[in-house]
Structure 1
Amino acid sequence: MAESAGELSLHQRILGDIENRILSGEWQPGFRIPFEVALAKQYKCSRMTVNKALTQLAKTGLIERRRKSGSYVTQPRAQSAVLEIRDIKLEVQSLGLAYHFKLAAKSQRRSSAEDRQRLGLDVASPVLDIRCTHFAGSRPFCVEHRLINLTAVPDAAAETFEEEAPGQWLLNRVPWSAAEHTIRAVSADDVVATSLGIPIGTACLMVERRTWSNGANVTHVHLIYPGEQHSLVASFTPSQPK
């Protein structure tokens, strides 16, 4: 039996309502969507209309349908290109989720021996130490611990980093000429676990990056992601024989 115009408009309404609840963070990853019978009763429509809306949401990847169990909001899984410096905001938005960040700490000091090792500096210089958490919807996406060499980027000393995240600020203002990535697995300590809302000892993925601009050491950053929610991708071609 063909659906009426009213059923078709209800299909779009159901689709939009569920999308909005997921993208706003009201329905978190892992949340079980109400059963088709309940949704049909709520919207005063047929189960077929509800089923079509849920099927369309599953195709877009927003929900996962499990046989005999129901439909659930999917766990977002981000992918980063290993050989690129990507804006975390764009990573989050590529998942169809709203992005925001919270600055946890910011301090300026003379570099310590550890700071100089992280930045690759030969002599002591002023540095900016920044810690923040990035969010996808209402859920923590990754934690960032960044050092900025103020000799190379003096303007960073006056920046509040309340409106624009440190990485995004640097990408927009300091053209990088070289970067070094180190990727490894780490266990969440108490600070990371609290920031990401995960148990202490949870397996995480850490991207360690050092960046240069025209030979000057600009920044060093640790980006730590919950391991099961992030993957790294590298594209390459065979080397040409000489």
Structure 2
Amino acid sequence: MRAKKAPTLHQQIINDIEGNILSGAWPPGHRIANELDLAEQYNCSRMTVNKALSQLASANLIERRKKSGSFVTQPQAQSAILEIHDIKLEVQSLGLPYEYQRLARSTRTATSSDRKSLELSENADILAVTGRHLAGPGVFCLEERLINLAVVPEAREENFIDTAPGPWLTSRVPWTTAEHMIKSVGANEHYAQALDIAKGTACLVIERRTWSHNGPVTHVRLTYPGDRHALVARFTPTDPTGKATAF
């Protein structure tokens, strides 16, 4: 029987780092030893280490940052554009513990901006709730939500400390129509602090409005660090012959 061939140093470095990442020993954001230290640890050339790290980066297991080093990547969630998804389930599907943190809650007479967001008349009352969704040690997204108290008066009594408003609304108010707007923005000081990222970092923003038979229900702005979320859409042709009209 032929003896099993020992892995090369290049492959051993890959196997060791990959094992630490997949086992959870190295969580997202963990900084990996620099090339010189790894070369000394494995008694090999720096070129061998660089090749191994480049392969791990190509597999999206690590992120190489110029002048900063190599870090375990944040797992990236995918959600369908035309669905109203549960953020808690998204996080758990990544194998990470989930937590919701309420940052602010207030009731007020709708401002001009609120009325525009929810298509409300003057003197309407709204509930404003801001919170963060956490994935493991990191912030997954920031949620800024307005709720129309004329349509959902029971929300006035909810504190939303342990439960995010989204699942609470979904379980209580049947919605009939939803609208999504998607854009990319650079994080200003407020969002950088809330998401624990550097100012100017690219962020994915999803703004959604939902309506019920009784009128507008809620407007929510979800802001994600751009490297932690992706949107997926599947379409079917509208031509009755079944022929695709665009590619």
Show the counterpart of 1:103: 102
Identical-residue share of aligned pairs (%): 47
Tell which deviates more after alignment, 120-129 or 145-154.
120-129
> Is contact 1:29-1:76 (8 Å) kept?
no
Q: How big is each residue's C-alpha offset from its partner over 1:63-85, in whole Å with a ceiling of 9 and x where there is no partner?
A: 4599xxxx963321111110000
Cα distance in structure 1, aligned partners of 2:175 and 2:169: 9
Separation (CA, whole Å) in 1 of partners of 2:195 and 2:140: 7
Q: Does 1:29 align with 2:29?
A: yes
Instruction: Answer yes or no: is the 8 Å Cα contact 1:30–1:75 preserved in 2.
Output: no
Secondary structure at 1:193's aligned position in 2?
helix
Distance in 2 between residues matched to 1:74 and 1:228, nearest whole Å:
9
Deviations 1:43-65 (A, max 9, x none): xxxxxxxxxxxxxxx9xx89459
Contact 1:116–1:124 (CA under 8 A) maintained in structure 2: no
| Residues 19 and 173 of structure 1: CA distance in aligned 2, closer, same or farther (over 3 Å) | farther
Displaced runs of 4+ in structure 1, greater than 4 A?
A: 15-18, 61-66
Q: Unmatched 5+ residue regions in structure 2? A: 5-18, 42-55, 65-69, 242-247
2:233 corresponds to: 234
- Given that residues 107 and 130 in structure 1 are in contact (C-alpha distance below 8 angstroms), is that contact kept between their aligned partners in structure 2? yes
Structure-1-length-normalised TM-score: 0.74
Aligned to 1:116, the other structure's residue is in SS state: helix
> 1:241 offset after TM fit, Å?
2.9
Specify whether residues 230 and 16 from structure 1 end up closer, same or farther in structure 2 by C-alpha distance, changes over 3 A only. closer
TM-score, scaled relative to structure 2: 0.73
Unaligned runs of 5+ in 1: 3-14, 39-57
Q: Which residue, 19, 26, 29 being the options, matches 2:23?
A: 19
Match of 2:75 in 1: 76
User: Which amino acid letter does the alignment assign opposite residue 131 of structure 1?
Assistant: T
The 8 Å contact of residues 63 and 73 in structure 2, kept in 1 or not, is answered as no
Q: Is the 8 A contact 2:60 2:73 kept in 1?
A: yes
1:51 is matched with none
The verdict on how the C-alpha distance between 1:148 and 1:28 changes in structure 2, with shifts beyond 3 A counting, is: same
Checking the alignment, whether the CA contact within 8 Å between 1:120 and 1:217 is kept in structure 2 is yes
What's 1:93 paired with? 92
1:109·1:126 contact (CA, 8 Å) conserved in 2? Answer: yes
Look up the equivalent residue of 1:19 and give its one-letter code.
Answer: S
1:82-231 equivalences under 5 Å are: 82-231=81-230
Instruction: Check 1:158–1:241 CA distance in 2 against 1; reply closer, same or farther (3 A cut).
Output: same
The code of the aligned residue for 2:23 comes to E
Partner SS state of residue 231, structure 1? strand
Q: Paired residue for 1:7?
A: none
- Matches of 2:112 and 2:217 in 1, distance apart? 17
